[in-house]
Amino acid sequence: MTPVATTRVTIQNFAFTPAAIVVPVGSTVTWTNQDLEEHTVTAHDNTFASDVVGNGRSFSYTFTRPGTYNYFCSIHTNMVGKVVVAR
C-alpha cells in the first residue's frame, strides 16, 4: 500500500479508502462511514479507538506524534488501514 496524502478516509463496501494515508504531525484525520453497516476505527496499539460509527457518521483523531499507525474495524477485523504521520 502506497500512502496517499489526505486527511479524509471513507468507509465503504467494508473497506477503508484510501487504505493507507500520509499526513504531517498535527493533522486531524476524519473517517466517514458510507456503509449501511456500523464500523469502528481502532488502532492496533490502542492510540485511538472510535465508538461504533453508524451510516453517515464520522470519527476524527488528531495525530500529535510521528509514526505509523495501523488500524482496523473491531467489528469486521478484515478491514484494515494505516496512517503514516510524518515530521
Which structural domain, as residue segments, surrounds residue 55? 4-86
Question: How many of the other CB atoms lie within 10 Å of CB of 82?
Answer: 17
Q: What pLDDT digit, counting tens, does each position of 5-59 carry?
A: 999 999 999 999 999 999 999 999 999 999 999 999 999 999 999 999 999 999 9
User: Which string of DSSP letters, residue by residue, matches 1-55?
Assistant: -PPEE-SEEEEETTEEESSEEEEETTPEEEEEE-SSS-B--EETTSS-B---B-T
What pLDDT, on the 0 to 100 scale, is given for residue 1? 73
Determine contact, residues 66/87, Cβ cutoff 8 Å: yes
What pLDDT, on the 0 to 100 scale, is given for residue 26? 98
Single pTM value for the model: 0.97
Q: What pLDDT digit, counting tens, does each position of 64-78 carry?
A: 999 999 999 999 999
For residue 46, give the CATH number of its domain: 2.60.40.420
Return the amino acid letter for 84: V
Residue 26: all three cell numbers together? 498535527
Count of domains observed in the chain:
1
